[in-house]
Amino acid sequence: MCLAIPAKVMALEAGDMAVVALEGVKKRISVALLDDVAVDDYVLIHVGYALHKVSAEEAERTLALMAEAGVLKEELEEITGGAA
Amino acid sequence: MKYVSEFRARDLAEKLAAQIAHEVRPDRTYHLMEFCGGHTHAIFRYGVQDLMPENVKFVHGPGCPVCVLPVRRLDDAVELAEKHGVILCTYGDMMRVPGTKQRSLIRAKADGADIRMIYSTLDALKIARENPDREVVFFAIGFETTTPPTAVAIMQAETEGLENFSVFCNHVLTPAAIGHILESPEVRDLGTVKIDGFLGPSHVSSVIGSEPYEFFAEEFAKPVVIAGFEPLDVMQSTLMLIRQINEGRAEVENEYARVVTREGNLKAQSLVSDVFELRQSFEWRGLGEVPYSALRIRDTHAALDAEKRFTVSEKKSREVKSCECPAILRGVKKPTDCKLFGTVCTPDNPMGSCMVSSEGACAAYWTYGRFRETAKEAEEAAA
């Protein structure tokens, strides 16, 4: 549960929510913990909340590592399985 | 060095390993505690220990929130679901952790309790909105990364006037536990372990910043290097620790500067302090009572505090006899020192929390380390 997964912000919505794209899956998350999120930013997501912004390079690096370590699929299933 | 082939950046891993081997002093040992379960997992998954010289040892610390939750708090959660009939929501990691008499949330669920596995506090709020006639309790666990989302959920529930939602708060603090490992008399009595430096947690630090660790560096003269999750990060951070130890320095260095700043996420910190305050003391599995090491909900938000809304009975909670999780969490024993490891206790049938969570030392040993250990022992016996 300590892992955070990077995703690209596709759209901002009311109530501090945003839609992000994760490996082709779209997901609504909260951006209430960040002040200046914009469309096309990359954010690290932990339990449905964007914790901080990261660069596109860092996002790519992290995703490649998670895929290699075999945890990406698991995390994606957990994220997309949620009710929100 | 067979595990080096598993690295994507194999050349870099080999260079780092060679550099570490070059810089360690043969006349001393380096005991480095990684606090974060994510690091424990990375060290095992990539066999980082195998790339280290003999005198560099990783000590696995209590950095998995599932592993450090005392059985009593889990028993309380089971009771909330079974006796008070609430919808209990929690993160998936908690489901299989055995409580007293091996009773876990998943067993309580099988017996009819309404326990829902959620991914986010957003899901718990949604369940509360959809079930206005039921009490919905979020069983909150986790370190500083998971705490801000709980704070947001509490604020959101207040804004919406969601009266059937409350939080059973078990959020704990990383720096307090590190301090306790270094100084508490109880830990000394229970057995302690030599620590020369710490690999600091990465995502926790992205929230609280690297500043809270400066105290350890100054007060206990222990170097801390905030390390990213990638195995190369762990190796680079190890090299940075070895250099500090060799030079007699004890500072906070930040290997993970691409994500972590000194001050951290100020907005998240401010939300957390609006909603939570320090508990004077909180029990940790493996560490006992640790002063000022956990958070509770402030009185200004008391209506959302499950501990105030429900009364749980005083009961005797008991961990499985001979389970060595407490000593393993303190870094005093290795999983293979436990009689239950790999015999009655496996990931399919865990007796203790360290075998449940993938970030627990026992689960990591089981998945990646046990064959290596056995091979090493056989080698030593033959020699």
pLDDT at B306: 98
Separation in Å, CA B120 to CA A50, B29, B39: 12, 42, 23
Q: Which residue has the higher pLDDT, B377 or A54?
A: A54
Distance of CA A49 to the CA centre of its chain: 8
Find residue B84's DSSP bridge partners. Answer: none
- Residue B91 sits at the chain A interface (C-beta within 8 Å): yes
Inspect the interface and report whether the beta carbons of A55 and B359 lie closer than 8 Å.
no
In chain A, residues with a C-beta closer than 8 Å to the C-beta of B38 are 2-3
CA–CA separation, A40 vs A34, rounded Å? Answer: 15
Please provide the distance, in angstroms rounded to a whole number, between the alpha carbons at the two ends of chain A: 18
Element (H, E) at A51: strand A49-54
B110 and B220 both lie in a single domain: yes
Average confidence (pLDDT) over B322-332: 86
Q: Minimum mean pLDDT among A17-26, B115-124, B257-266, B365-374: which range? A: B365-374
Whole-number average pLDDT of chain A: 85
Q: Residue A81: which pLDDT band, with cuts at 50, 70 and 90?
A: low
Distance of CA B178 to the CA centre of its chain: 11
Which ranges of B116-184 would DSSP assign to H, the alpha helix? 121-130, 147-160, 174-183
Is a pLDDT exceeding 90 seen at residue A4?
no
B236 and B333 both lie in a single domain: no
Identify each DSSP E strand in chain B by its residue range. Answer: 30-34, 56-60, 87-91, 115-118, 136-142, 165-171, 197-200, 224-226, 252-254, 276-278, 281-284, 288-291, 295-297
* Option in A51, A54, A78 nearest B207 (CB): A51
Whole-number average pLDDT of chain B: 90
CA–CA separation, B215 vs B251, rounded Å? Answer: 9
Residue range of the domain that includes B123: 1-319
**Domain end call among B275, B303, B319:** B319
B269 and B329 both lie in a single domain: no
pLDDT at B327: 85
Closest-CA residue of B relative to A54 is B259
Closest-CA residue of B relative to A75 is B119
B52 and B22 both lie in a single domain: yes
CA–CA separation, B40 vs B53, rounded Å? Answer: 18
Inspect the interface and report whether the beta carbons of A83 and B36 lie closer than 8 Å.
no
> Tokens 């060595």 — which residue?
B324
CA–CA separation, A21 vs B291, rounded Å? Answer: 42
CB pairs under 8 A between A and B: 111
B223 and B329 both lie in a single domain: no
Closest-CA residue of B relative to A64 is B8
Residues B175 and B213 sit within 8 Å (Cβ to Cβ): yes
The two tokens of residue B270 are 């401010």
CB within 8 A of A16, min separation 6: which ones?
A30, A31, A32
B219 and B352 both lie in a single domain: no
Q: What is the DSSP letter of B313?
A: P
Inspect the interface and report whether the beta carbons of B271 and A32 lie closer than 8 Å.
yes
In chain B, residues with a C-beta closer than 8 Å to the C-beta of A29 are 120, 122
pLDDT at B185: 61
Is a pLDDT exceeding 70 seen at residue B22?
yes
Q: Spell out the domain ranges in chain A.
A: 5-80
Residues B206 and A52 sit within 8 Å (Cβ to Cβ): yes
Count of structural domains within chain B: 2
Q: For the purposes of burial, counting CB atoms within 10 Å of the CB of B283, is it exposed (0-12), middle (13-18) or buried (19 or more)? A: middle
Domain harbouring B75, CATH code: 3.40.50.11740
Closest-CA residue of A relative to B42 is A69
Q: Which B residues in the span 99-118 are in contact with A, Cβ-Cβ below 8 Å?
A: 118
Q: For testing the chain A interface, which of B46, B120, B143 should be mutated: the one with the most A CBs within 10 Å?
A: B120
B32 and B148 both lie in a single domain: yes
- Residue B76 sits at the chain A interface (C-beta within 8 Å): no
Inspect the interface and report whether the beta carbons of B38 and A35 lie closer than 8 Å.
no
pLDDT tens per residue across span B130-141: 999 999 999 999
Q: How do strand A17-22 and strand A25-30 relate by DSSP bridges?
A: antiparallel
pTM of the predicted structure, to 2 decimals: 0.90
Q: Residue B318: which pLDDT band, with cuts at 50, 70 and 90?
A: confident
A79/chain B closest Cα distance in angstroms: 6
User: Measured at the alpha carbon of residue B103, what is the angle toward residues B331 and B61, in degrees to the nearest 5?
Assistant: 10
pLDDT at B206: 92
Inspect the interface and report whether the beta carbons of A84 and B120 lie closer than 8 Å.
yes
Closest-CA residue of A relative to B143 is A2
Rounded to the nearest 5°, which phi and psi values hold at B279? -85, 145
Q: Residue B240: which pLDDT band, with cuts at 50, 70 and 90?
A: very high
| pLDDT cut 90: percent of chain B above it | 62
A56/chain B closest Cα distance in angstroms: 12
* Option in A2, A28, A33 nearest B265 (CB): A33
DSSP count for chain A of H helices, then E strands:
2, 5
Q: For the purposes of burial, counting CB atoms within 10 Å of the CB of A70, is it exposed (0-12), middle (13-18) or buried (19 or more)? A: exposed
**Is CATH 2.30.30.140 what the domain over A5-80 is classified as, yes or no?**
yes
Rounded to the nearest 5°, which phi and psi values hold at B149? -60, -35
Amino acid type, B228: G
Inspect the interface and report whether the beta carbons of A82 and B229 lie closer than 8 Å.
no
Is a pLDDT exceeding 90 seen at residue B229?
no
In chain B, residues with a C-beta closer than 8 Å to the C-beta of A62 are 229-230
The two tokens of residue B377 are 């022992």
B239 and B348 both lie in a single domain: no
Is a pLDDT exceeding 50 seen at residue A84?
no
B311 and B375 both lie in a single domain: no
The two tokens of residue B63 are 């950095």
The two tokens of residue B9 are 């950046």
In chain A, residues with a C-beta closer than 8 Å to the C-beta of B87 are none
pLDDT at B376: 67
A17/chain B closest Cα distance in angstroms: 10
CA–CA separation, B312 vs B310, rounded Å? Answer: 6
pLDDT at B111: 97
CA–CA separation, B74 vs B54, rounded Å? Answer: 39
Inspect the interface and report whether the beta carbons of B268 and A33 lie closer than 8 Å.
yes
In chain B, residues with a C-beta closer than 8 Å to the C-beta of A59 are none
3-state secondary structure of A25: strand
Average confidence (pLDDT) over B81-85: 94
In chain B, residues with a C-beta closer than 8 Å to the C-beta of A54 are 258-259
Q: What is the DSSP letter of B261?
A: -
